[in-house]
Amino acid sequence: MSEPRARPLGGTEYSWCRAVPGGTGITVLALLLSKPPNLLSLQNALHILQNSHPILRSKLQNPTTPSPSFSISTSPSLQIQTSDLNFLQTPLQISPFHHILERELNQNSWSESQEPQDQDSFDVFFATLYSLPDSKWVLALRLHTSVCDRSSVVGLSRELLGLMGGGEGVVKREEEEVGLAIEELVPKGKGYKPFWARGVNLLGYSLNSLRISSLEFEDAGSSRGSEVVRLQMNREETDRLLAGCREREIKLCGALAAAGLIAASAKNLANSCSGNYSIVTLIDCRKILDPVLHDYQVGFYFSAILNTHTVTKGDELWDVAKQCFMAFSNAKNCNKHFTDMGDLNFLMCKAIENPGLTPSSSLRTAFMSVFEDTVIDDSSDLLQELGLEDYIGCSSVHGVGPSIAIFDTVRDGRLDCACVYPSPLHSRKQIQELIDDMKNILVGGGE
């Protein structure tokens, strides 16, 4: 089949085009390397990825108009930029690798303030290689979330590492087609909702937003950026936590949400009062679309379910985890990830247009976001051969979004979560304390 030269954006992709200029939806994969990468070989590897996944060599055309589109180039054009740490003005309180990750999350190539040469056409994929003073390097890939969800990042990272390792483990395949938008692939009848029901749901979401609790805002007036705190557990702690989830027939997302709710409520609740918090659970829909998509199909194929939970002082981890997961599971069984897709996109765009509709104009639409399924990575042997010491993949949230977005991975049996938050709306100290409390709750629940 001949490659299409362009296709219009779907509703979910368009909502990301509205969100990214404000700072939410900048997806970054950062790789810490102890061996010097060959720049030419790395450039070729990235071009192979662009050839295999045409949407990575697309340009966003007219993203701020009502009819944006992806324009697909016939050949890859990405050029790796190089940098060092000379841009640093003050001593770091975090590692250089961590600092580079946060810097990339706040490099907004799609913002009007960046003054690109062509305001009507934007690349979606960037790569920068940083050299560190201790003979280490950081490769940072930065993508527009409309073309790259979390599963896409995982697939691309595995393909790239395979290419960097000499091609071992790389699946040889023909160039894939530019995939349709998720709305075009919803199974027949699964996304239908009567007109009046849609109106009632929109009203319900709007009214619920007025009564939800949130973390205390420390600085709601200053311009914002995304920062990251990590939640890490050892193998024994992780084994106990996952065993607790299996015993109760729930997924890890339920336990993570519950730990966050209990930690937040402990700081906000007095006496026996209760608080209401919203949790967004993100679902990879590839296996439930029509036709079914393969795991490595690059694009944005996630949907979301929004639930509000009441938490009371003294609630136990596994009780709240069961409540969170069952509420999500019941909503998914009712196809709310399809029927409410347009509603949530609409409300997100309305919040972007009218920040005053959110508490303190914070643009916070939920307390926390989690993923239904955890990324499992057992590739330590290959990573050691490549000199890959660490890596993090996550997306920015300092525009519209939750107070904390959890990107969880079980890496060689150890839980490792990148927890992204908007700063200075929330401070690093505030979020670090909350994450420490979450870890204590999770470890205690697994004992």
Cα-based angle 150, 48, 291 (whole degrees, multiple of 5): 50
Q: Is it the case that residue 204 has pLDDT exceeding 90?
A: no
**313 shares its domain with 381:** yes
Q: Is residue 324 in a domain?
A: yes
Query: Does residue 413 lie in a domain region?
Result: yes
What is residue 27's predicted lDDT score, i.e. its pLDDT? 98
Between 176 and 180, whose confidence is greater? 180
Q: Which domain holds residue 174?
A: 6-180
Residues 190 and 320 grouped into a single domain:
yes
Burial 307-341 (b: 16+ CB within 10 A, else e): bbbebeeebebbebbbbbbebbbebbeebbbbbbb
Residues 274 and 342 in one domain: yes
> Higher model confidence: residue 353 or residue 192?
353
What does the alpha-carbon distance between residue 214 and residue 242 come to, in Å, rounded to a whole number?
28
Q: Specify the number of domains making up the chain.
A: 2
Whether 1 is covered by a domain: the verdict is no
Assessment of whether the complete model's pTM goes beyond 0.85: yes
**Is the same domain home to 370 and 414?**
yes
| CATH number of domain containing 310 | 3.30.559.30
Mean pLDDT of all residues in 170-187: 75
In this structure, what token pair is assigned to residue 160? 């790239």
Alpha-carbon gap, residue 408 to 413, rounded angstroms: 12
- With cut-offs at 50, 70 and 90, classify the pLDDT of residue 440: very high
Shared domain for 123 and 226, answered yes or no, is no
Residue 14 falls inside a structural domain: yes
CB 145 within 8 A of CB 300: yes
Grade residue 33 by pLDDT with cuts at 50, 70 and 90. Answer: very high
The answer on 55 and 104 residing in a single domain is yes
Of 121, 155, 180, the one marking the end of a domain is 180
Same domain, 63 and 165: yes
Q: 156, 180, 204: which is the final residue of a domain? A: 180
Does residue 186 contact residue 290 with C-beta atoms inside 8 Å?
yes
Pair (69, 190) in one structural domain: no
Q: How far apart are CA 222 and CA 199, in angstroms?
A: 35
- Is residue 190 in a domain? yes
Domain shared by 413 and 276, yes or no: yes
Distance CA(398)–CA(423), nearest Å, equals 7
Longest dimension (CA), the chain: 66
Q: Which residue has the higher pLDDT, 116 or 231?
A: 231
Give tens-digit pLDDT for 320-330. Answer: 999 999 999 99
Residue 24 located in a structural domain: yes
Mean pLDDT of 100-110: 95
Helix, coil or strand: residue 59: strand
Per-residue tokens: 352 = 């972007």
DSSP state at residue 446: H
Please report which confidence band the pLDDT of residue 188 belongs to, taking 50, 70 and 90 as the band edges.
Answer: very high
In order of 11, 16, 345, 384, 395, the CA distances from 64 in angstroms are: 13, 11, 16, 43, 21
What DSSP string describes 335-395?
A: THHHHTHHHHHHHHHHHHH-GGGSGGG--EEEEEEEESS-EEE--HHHHHHHTEEEEEEEE
Which pLDDT does position 90 carry in this prediction? 58
Contacts of 210 (CB under 8 A, 6+ apart): none
Angle at 362 between CA 361 and CA 365, to 5 degrees: 110
Quick one: 176 and 193 in the same domain? Answer: no
CATH of the domain at 35: 3.30.559.10
| Three-state DSSP state, 42 | helix
Residues 392, 30: Cα–Cα separation, whole Å: 5
Q: What share of the chain is helix, strand, coil (3-state, %, to 5)?
A: 40, 25, 35
Q: How far is the C-alpha of 357 from the C-alpha of 202, rounded, in Å?
A: 14
**pLDDT-derived band at 207, boundaries 50, 70, 90:** low
Q: Are residues 171 and 216 in the same domain?
A: no
pLDDT in tens, 398-413: 999 999 999 999 999 9
What whole-number distance in Å separates Cα of residue 26 and Cα of residue 152? 14
Whether residues 128 and 56 share a domain: the answer is yes
Q: How confident is the model at residue 446 (pLDDT cuts 50, 70, 90)?
A: low
Q: Identify whether 260 is part of a domain.
A: yes
Q: Check residue 343 and give its pLDDT.
A: 87
**Domain end call among 180, 211, 240:** 180
What DSSP element (H or E) covers 443?
helix 428-446
